[in-house]
Structure 1
Amino acid sequence: MTSTTHHKYEKQAMSKSELLESLERDGFVLVPNLLTPEQITELREAAKETVDLARSGAWPYVRTLPKQFPPWNPADVPTHGIWGVQSLMHPQLRTSPAFIRTYFSAPMLRTILSLFPGSTPSSLVLELFNLLTRPDHNFQLRWHRDDIPSSATAQEELSRLAHPAFHAQWNMALYADASLVVVPGSHRRARTEKERSMGEYETGVEGEMRVQMQPGDVVFYDNNILHRGVYDSGVERMTLHGSVGLEGGGGVRARNVLQHGLKDWVGQIDFSCLDEEQREIAEGMRERLLKMAAESGDVGYSLDG
């Protein structure tokens, strides 16, 4: 593919941003009002249709209760219900254009590039785009890091945490959302003895905080920050959950992404809803994901449970 300069995406990408400084220091950073009111309305409608489809059992790519990590079995939907919908860019999902336009929007990619100083759109890798929704009954995720098991020793944790980040992961709220609980700064250190011995769903952990999001806000976070989720079945929740990668992530990043099954259909994503410049970026990002998939083989799963 011919290399093109994408000025409207790159103008914030050449120096260390305040966003990156916050992300590096705290392990997360909140970006308010990244979506316009019109985008929020469009995405709420698309998300509702998608969730209704999933709850009916007609969409197989779901996160079923009470299972925290992949793989999930769609046969469990009628008896256990769901807490998320996977594969928002799948070519067979009628609502996918709204999600695709959001994933590749200029404000979104500009923000992501500001977290990777010196990078350009031709460095980016297409990754995940899913939807976290109100569970059918109250549900909590245990304390975890996304790609480091709780059985890891302090030295193993430090070794994994020392690896540079090759992705940006985020939650994008369509309704007010305070589900994400984090321990700021825990992405830069091993767990303390108290954290190692605490209960899986322990509350009042030293330093913990809930991330308060309003509609249109996006929180970017290091997926190996110590975090958990608390989901109230009585509160509407439609929060888009995605990631974009950077070339060079290797096997660790491949496992984190490909365990969700998207390599089976990502080659068929329809980018016709994008303008020419966005489409060129999207196709390049997809090519880099397919290259990573071809080089990685069978990646397995990051965590159990």
Structure 2
Amino acid sequence: MLTEDQKRTYYEDGVLVIKDMIPSEKLLNYRDAYERMVEKVRAHPNAKEEYNARLIGGKTNTESPTEEEQKEIWGADWLLHPDLYEPEFTDYLENEKLISALQCLLGPDLELYGLKALWSPVNITYDLYWHRDGKQDSYSTDGGIPPGWLQWNTALYREESFHVVKGSHRRPLSEEESTIYGTTKPVANQEVLVLEPGEALFMHQAVLHRGKALSTSKRRAFHYIVARTDFAVGTRRLRQFKEWYDQLNLGQKLGPISKPLFENFFAWEGRTFDDNTYPYPPGGRSPDKKEQN
């Protein structure tokens, strides 16, 4: 359960850090599981297509990254893929403190939206551009309330990766912010948020932010997303997740807190809606979307 001060912080700043989201006694196991996943992603010759791995490409402050540097991997989107799945990835969702906090902001009925991972490359710093997770001109008109879904990062090691302009989710971008949008240039009022191991950072989709991780650091972060059950989800993602869920027999393995997240998600099966409205389609991203966080 969030305090009134925590909710106010989220609404006003667009970000909220919550301490001790991963219990200390579980942290080592989570790290080990995460490392096994990273090594499998890195070892796969076609990780981009198989696991929707995130590649550096041109997204770095290095002027001319080499071809090999551009292939550096800094994340993967398909933690439910049977090749990558570890029980710790869903055990994290079996977390009353986490679900209670999400319910305080989204409401009581939640569904799964994404299980992803972000980490530091080996040989090159990734330095992403300033962006909003949506259209550049989008912002909250209702006091910072989440727009049907909420994303959060959870650090397994100490990290200083998240750069943000607090409060930018509640207003149009300033002239300066519009000018630096899509670049890594400094901007007024930017902050770097420090996460200690086990801490979670909730973020509003419209807050102006970017990510950075040095190759000399060891960033290992979960990047998860849930939504309200009245928020439409993509049928392609649903079918893919359902296939993996059944293949892993998760229906028999998940606990009473995490299982409803999946069941609510799968309840959309058979309904009709426009897949183009779904912001994270399988196999990559919509043509007008950019990789984020």
TM-score normalized by the length of structure 1:
0.77
8 Å Cα contact 1:161-1:187 kept in structure 2: no
Match of 2:76 among 75, 78, 85: 85
Is residue 246 of structure 1 aligned with residue 228 of structure 2? yes
Q: How far has the Cα of 1:40 moved from its partner?
A: 1.1
Partner residue in 2 for 1:266 = 241
Give the Cα–Cα distance (whole angstroms) in 2 for the partners of residues 164 and 291 of structure 1: 26
Q: How far has the Cα of 1:56 moved from its partner?
A: 0.6
Of residues 199-208 and 101-110 in structure 1, the stretch that sits farther from structure 2 once superposed is 199-208
Q: How far has the Cα of 1:18 moved from its partner?
A: 3.0
Partner residue in 1 for 2:283 = none
8 Å Cα contact 1:134-1:238 kept in structure 2: yes
Give the Cα–Cα distance (whole angstroms) in 2 for the partners of residues 208 and 279 of structure 1: 35
Partner residue in 2 for 1:190 = 172
Match of 1:54 among 35, 41, 45: 41
Aligned residues: 266
Alignment of 1:1-305 (within 5 A): 12=1, 17-57=4-44, 59=47, 60-61=50-51, 62-66=53-57, 80-90=71-81, 92-93=82-83, 95-116=85-106, 119-120=107-108, 123-136=109-122, 137-149=124-136, 152=137, 165-198=147-180, 200-250=182-232, 254=233, 258=234, 262-268=237-243, 269=245, 270-271=249-250, 272-275=252-255, 277-278=256-257, 280-288=259-267, 290=269, 294-299=272-277, 300-304=286-290
8 Å Cα contact 2:21-2:198 kept in structure 1: yes
Q: How far has the Cα of 1:286 moved from its partner?
A: 2.3
Q: How far has the Cα of 1:212 moved from its partner?
A: 0.4
Which one has a larger percent helix, Structure 1 or Structure 2?
1
Q: How far has the Cα of 1:96 moved from its partner?
A: 2.8
Q: Alignment identity in percent?
A: 21
Gaps of 5+ in 1: 1-11, 69-75
Give the Cα–Cα distance (whole angstroms) in 1 for the partners of residues 113 and 89 of structure 2: 13
- What letter corresponds to residue 201 of structure 1 in structure 2? T
SS at match of 1:295: coil
Q: Deviations over 1:15-64 (max 9, x none)?
A: x7432211100000000111112221111111101000011116521111
Give the Cα–Cα distance (whole angstroms) in 2 for the partners of residues 31 and 166 of structure 1: 20
Give the Cα–Cα distance (whole angstroms) in 2 for the partners of residues 283 and 303 of structure 1: 25
Flag as ranges the 4+ runs of structure 1 deviating above 6 A: 76-79, 158-163
- What letter corresponds to residue 125 of structure 2 in structure 1? N
Pick closer, same or farther for the CA change 1:55–1:192 going to 2, 3 Å: same
SS at match of 1:210: strand
Give the Cα–Cα distance (whole angstroms) in 1 for the partners of residues 29 and 188 of structure 2: 39
User: RMSD of the alignment, in Å?
Assistant: 2.9
